[in-house]
Each structure stands twice: as structure tokens, then as C-alpha cells.
Amino acid sequence: MRNPVEVTDLETLEGRVGVALELINRYGDEDGSDHKQWVLDQIVRVLTGCQFKGKTEGQSNTFINFDKNDNYLQWVKKYEYGDEDLEDTYSWDEGTAP
């Protein structure tokens, strides 16, 4: 079992980038696209300023979770909107924790 990502500095951009990179390091090699999508979703949450929610015990890992905030929801909305000519071009998937 891997140790969870340490959430030490979410007050600075540098700290958030560090947490995002650590998420990739710890969970980026999980099998399955649903788990990889969870990693991407958690990274978006970290980089959009979401607050740390807590740690959860999974089958093979202890993993961290971040809440949603307005910046995250706006980012998802912009992602899903896609092209100016084609509203709702894409859909965002939060994935499944490993």
C-alpha cells in the first residue's frame, strides 16, 4: 500500500503544483482509464483552488480528496462547452478513486 499524498501547502501556486505533481507520482500509474481520470480530476481541483476534503482508505491505497469550488465548476463548464460553434461538445468525468 502506498502512502497518501501529503497535503502541506495549498496556499501558494507552487504548493498546489507540488501536490498536483505528487498526485501524478503516487496514482498516475493505476490501471484503468477511470482511475487515471480520477487523478486528472483531483489535479484540476487542486489547481483551481479547491480545499482538501480528507483521506479515504481504498482497496490498495490511501487516497486524498478535494472538494469542489466555483473555480472548479467554472473550469468544468468551460471544458464541456468546447467549441464556440458547438455548445456542450464534451463531458467531464470525475473518474473513480483507485
pLDDT, tens digit, 9 for 90 and up, residues 55-81: 777 666 677 789 999 999 999 998 888
Q: What is the mean pLDDT of the chain?
A: 84
Global pTM reads 0.82
Domains of the chain: total: 1
The domain containing residue 49 runs over which residues?
13-81
Per-residue pLDDT band at 84 (split at 50, 70, 90):
low
Residue 94 lies in a domain: no
Residue 44 lies in a domain: yes
Task: Tell me if 93 is assigned to some domain.
Answer: no
Sign of CA pseudo-dihedral 41, 47, 50, 55: positive
